Amino acid sequence: MRDVVIVGGGAGGLVVASVAAQLGLDVVLINKEENMGGDCLHYGCVPSKTLIKSASVAHTMAQADRWGLTPVDSQVDMKSVNQIIQDVVDTIQVHDSRERFEALGCEVITGEARFTAPARIEVGGERIEARHFVVATGSSTFIPPIKGLQGVTFLTNEDMYSLPTLPESMVVLGGGPIGVEMAQAYNRLGTKVSIVELAPRLLPRMDDDLSEILADVLRSEGISICLNSEVVEVSEQGKEKQIRLKDGQTLVAETLMVAIGRRPMVDSLNLDKADVLYDSAGIKVNQKMQTSNKKIYACGDVTGELPLTHVAELQAGVVIANLIFKMPKKISYDVIPSVVYTDPEVAQVGISVEQCRALKKGEIHQFDVSQLDRAVTDNDKKGVAKILTSKGRVVGAHIIAPHAGELIHELALAIQENMKISKITSLVHAYPSYSQLNKRLAGQYYTDRLFSPFTKKIVGFLNRIF
């Protein structure tokens, strides 16, 4: 009888395995693939951000006259770009390697696992019983049931980083985070890109105004955006993909990329045998990350909750507290930063503008990035930041700006610690830095109050008396 069996070697599973093994538990880690690290390392966050960096450099070279330099038309060699991506993956892979986890004390097994009983799992013909299990099998690309799609070749996040040559043209299905990031990246490398989104705007889960600003930026860079557009049929003639929309429009491109969403990987687990409830959205868990079988926990994308690496790590921490330390801890998703790594970046945390307006003393203040001195010096002035407050405390923030993914964390901390907005305005921020955006943004809360008629009367009175 083993102490804990972990199924899935992605972010969530590896965190639990590392802690459990180092604390002396008898741990078995099962991963379907030989290379661990999960979707994020091999097909998601890491390769996508590396590709985005290459595209950003190419774009900067082409736009060098913005900084008084001679523009350079870079020649994109996709094999070289792919090699850079692979080098980055290989470097980070060391931290997630089989050898490292075996050195920590885990037994690592490669293969597809399936439950055969509530306390027993089978992999490669071997049956393993354990006191506890953690399911962290992640998610895969959702392939929509579009007519003709299965009959054509298309890209997903699992193969978009191995293209032998740069496509001349591309249609991206989906205007969510993956869709807009990859659309901008390939467009900057030299591909003519169109985005097709079913919703009335890009990034449907982000702030409306930020979404509109990003759409304007993408259009200004030459990306075509089709909103409120449903794909009804896809076909392939020679090297061309034809994407027919419900409104009768037909888009033609060399390459089709599907980036519509994710689906939890539960089909092969045989969860019914383990008395674990699940549906198409993922495994059902309580606030302690326990499934309907209290001896089996789940974390990461397989739960269907916010498919983000940092959320998987958060959930893994809750699993560790409850399973290993026996300290009751409940998950909270109240302060989860979300970032889209376009240029400019889009980030948000806390409640939405609509939720803030519904609060009795909710206030919304904003600051234009073009008024930030560091943005002016960098000639990178697109964007806006919003801070949401209730009774003088920060409850939400929404930013589209250079480095928004870094800036959002100061405001996330303010929300988590229930800080008064004065804590941000009183903190000295180095000049000139992008971090000053938060100070300027928080300062908007006091602008009307500071220069109100009442304050002017008080100041006038004090200066007459003293």
Q: Which of 243, 260, 277 is the last residue of a domain?
A: 260
Q: Which residues contact 282 (CB under 8 A, 6 or more apart)?
A: 264, 266, 298, 301, 302, 303, 304, 305
Strands 231-237, 224-226: pairing is: unpaired
Token couple for 231: 């794909």
**Does residue 364 sit within a domain?**
yes
- pLDDT recorded at residue 458: 73
**Does residue 66 sit within a domain?**
no
**Does residue 113 sit within a domain?**
yes
- pLDDT recorded at residue 269: 96
- pLDDT above 70 (res 450): no
On whether both 246 and 369 belong to a single domain, the answer is no
- pLDDT recorded at residue 417: 97
Of all residues in the chain, the percent with pLDDT exceeding 90 is 90
Average pLDDT estimate for 67-88: 94
State the pLDDT confidence band at 452, using cuts at 50, 70 and 90: low
User: What's the domain count of the chain?
Assistant: 3
Q: Cα separation of 392 and 196, whole Å?
A: 41
On whether both 317 and 219 belong to a single domain, the answer is no
> Three-state secondary structure along 148-177?
CHHHCCCECCCCCCCCCCCCCEEEEECCCH
Q: What is the mean pLDDT of the chain?
A: 94
End-to-end alpha carbon distance in the chain: 81
| Packing angle of the helix pair 309-319, 11-22 (nearest 10 deg) | 30
Average pLDDT estimate for 446-453: 72
| Packing angle of the helix pair 45-62, 177-189 (nearest 10 deg) | 40
Q: Using an 8 Å Cβ cutoff, are 267 and 251 in contact?
A: no
- pLDDT recorded at residue 451: 65
**Does residue 427 sit within a domain?**
yes
* pLDDT tens digits, 2-17: 999 999 999 999 999 9
Neighbour-count burial for 145-168, b at 16+ CB within 10 Å, e otherwise? ebebbeeeebbbbeebbebeebbe
On whether both 8 and 115 belong to a single domain, the answer is yes
- pLDDT above 80 (res 462): no
On whether both 185 and 101 belong to a single domain, the answer is no
Q: Which of 300, 324, 348 is the last residue of a domain?
A: 324
The three-state secondary structure class of 382 is coil
On whether both 224 and 289 belong to a single domain, the answer is no
* pLDDT tens digits, 24-36: 999 999 999 999 9
State the pLDDT confidence band at 459, using cuts at 50, 70 and 90: low
On whether both 300 and 363 belong to a single domain, the answer is no
- CA angle 412/418/422 to nearest 5° reads 90
Average pLDDT estimate for 134-162: 93
Q: Which residue has the higher pLDDT, 308 or 458?
A: 308
- pLDDT recorded at residue 455: 67
On whether both 136 and 229 belong to a single domain, the answer is no
Q: Which residues contact 238 (CB under 8 A, 6 or more apart)?
A: none
On whether both 31 and 104 belong to a single domain, the answer is yes
Q: Cα separation of 230 and 167, whole Å?
A: 24
Of all residues in the chain, the percent with pLDDT exceeding 70 is 98
User: Residue 386: which CATH number?
Assistant: 3.30.390.30
**Does residue 394 sit within a domain?**
yes
**Does residue 303 sit within a domain?**
yes
The three-state secondary structure class of 136 is coil
Q: Which residues contact 434 (CB under 8 A, 6 or more apart)?
A: 372, 374, 375, 401, 402, 403, 406, 407
Range of the domain at 277: 2-36+97-141+263-324
Cβ of 344: how many Cβ atoms within 10 Å?
24
Check residue 30 and report its DSSP letter.
E
- pLDDT recorded at residue 426: 94
Average pLDDT estimate for 278-291: 96
Strand partners, 226: 196
Rounded to two decimals, the pTM is: 0.93
User: Residue 195: which CATH number?
Assistant: 3.50.50.60
**Does residue 48 sit within a domain?**
no
On whether both 9 and 137 belong to a single domain, the answer is yes
- pLDDT recorded at residue 159: 87
- pLDDT recorded at residue 122: 96
| Closest to 177 (Cα-Cα) out of 298, 320, 306 | 306
- pLDDT above 90 (res 121): yes
Q: Which helix or strand (DSSP H or E) is residue 313 part of?
A: helix 309-319
On whether both 107 and 203 belong to a single domain, the answer is no
- With tokens 């959930």, the residue in question is 315
On whether both 435 and 365 belong to a single domain, the answer is yes
**Does residue 91 sit within a domain?**
no
On whether both 284 and 346 belong to a single domain, the answer is no
Dmax over CA atoms of the chain, in Å, equals: 90
